[in-house]
Structures are given as C-alpha cells and as structure tokens.
Amino acid sequence: MALSINEIKSGVTILVEGEVYMCIDAQHVKPGKGAAFVRARLRNLKNDSIQEKTFRGEEKIEEAYVEERKLQYQYSSGGIFHFMDTDNFEEIAISEDIIADKAKLLKDNLEIMGYFFKGATLYVNLPNFIEFTIVETEPGFKGDSSKSGNKPATVDTGAIIQVPLFINVGDKIKVDTRTGGTYVERIN
C-alpha cells in the first residue's frame, strides 16, 4: 500500500530503493511558496545506518509490513543461532551476521524480539537489561568502591564486561544491552 507524505511519522516502516527503513523523525514542512514536503530521518533495519531523505508532496511511498515475533534463544552451532517462536513453537535459524555483537549476551531461554520482512530476518532486539553471574574476575578488596575504577569480568555466557572493583566471583549483575553490555548494578 502506498503512503502519502502526510502519513510519514516516527515508527512507520517504509521501502526506499528496495531497502526497509523505519522513520525515526519526520518534519512536515509547508513553505510559503511551493509544495509541502517531509524531511525524514530513516534507520535502515538491515545495517542500522541512518540517513536523511526528503519526500515531495506528489510522491507515493511504499509501506513495509514488518512482522514482530517473540523468540526464545535455544542454542548456536556453526555461526547459526537457533530460536523458537513462542507463539507457534516453530524453530527459526538466524545467521551470525544479523545477531552481530549481541551474540555475546545471549543466554539460554532468553526471550528476544525478532523483526521479519517477507520471511527474512531484519534484526533482533534484546531486552534492555539482562542479569548475569560473574564466573571469573580478580578478587575485590575491602575499601574498593564504584568510584575507584573498573576491572574486566567474565560472565556466564563468556562475555567480558567491565565492572567496578568491588564485584567478586559469584555476584549477580545487571547489564544494559542497549549500550553493548555495560554494567548497571549488582543484584542481591
């Protein structure tokens, strides 16, 4: 279905030159002289790049129907990550290039959101925060506080995360996935 420029707003997914984009921001401009247009910031859902594009009043923009599915992580083998659709229990295999740097934060049975266009996986979105257990790090000492620095720690998935000096082996921590896996807090 074709959209008019009036229907372009934040969150709408569209096709531009065969690629699927999500509108991040749209400014509708009606100059005193000439036709109205929309200046939009678009995020490519395949490679996460951002570009600006201007749509004129007479243009028809093709809407992209992106399917959102809740997936549960099962296992990985040979660069392929296997998930189960929690609605119909179908197994879905997603390649390593789509998962990218999120692979280090995948835990068994973790529920994520998968986004699909015409049956092909566009990208996956992890929960904002995930809890991990520290399996290896240098020991903390009395007096170490969160303001005195960081040290590397290995969590139960094998990822290495920078944590404050007072964190010890066996501690549970909360990690922010939106920033690539940064320490948020210790969990009791």
Say if residues 99 and 81 touch (Cβ distance below 8 Å). yes
Confidence of residue 142 (pLDDT cuts 50, 70, 90): low
Q: Which of 23, 44, 63 is the last residue of a domain?
A: 63
Question: pLDDT tens, 160-170?
Answer: 999 988 888 99
| Residue 49 three-state SS | coil
Tell me the C-alpha distance between 16 and 157, whole Å: 38
- Amino acid 107: pLDDT: 92
What is the token pair recorded at 23?
């509108």
51 and 24 fall within a common domain: yes
Final residue in a domain of this structure, among 63, 81, 100: 63
- 141 — pLDDT class (breaks 50, 70, 90): low
* Domain co-membership, 157 together with 118: no
Q: Round the average pLDDT of the chain to a whole number and report it.
A: 88
pLDDT of 109 strictly over 90: yes
- Per-residue model confidence (pLDDT) at position 1: 67
Instruction: Give the mean model confidence (pLDDT) for residues 128-151.
Output: 80
Q: What is the 3-state secondary structure (H, E, C) of the chain?
A: CEECHHHCCCCCEEEECCEEEEEEEEEEECCCCCCCEEEEEEEECCCCCEEEEEEECCCCEEECCCEEEEEEEEEEECCEEEEEECCCCCEEEEEHHHHHHHHHHCCCCCEEEEEEECCEEEEEECCCEEEEEEEEECCCCCCCCCCCCEEEEEECCCCEEEEECCCCCCCEEEEECCCCCEEEEEEC
Which range marks the domain in which residue 161 is found?
A: 129-187
For residues 133-139, average pLDDT: 91
User: Which of 63, 78, 101 is the last residue in one of the domains?
Assistant: 63
33 pLDDT higher than 90? no
Domain at 172, CATH number: 2.40.50.140
Q: Write the pLDDT tens digit of every residue in 74-83.
A: 999 988 999 9
| H-helix segments, 6-143 | 96-99
> Does one domain contain both 116 and 136?
no
Q: What is the pLDDT of residue 70?
A: 95
Total structural domains within the chain: 3
pLDDT at 153 over 80: yes
Give the mean model confidence (pLDDT) for residues 80-108.
Answer: 91
Q: Are residues 146 and 95 in the same domain?
A: no
For the entire predicted model, the pTM comes to 0.77
Question: CB 130: neighbour CB atoms within 10 A?
Answer: 19
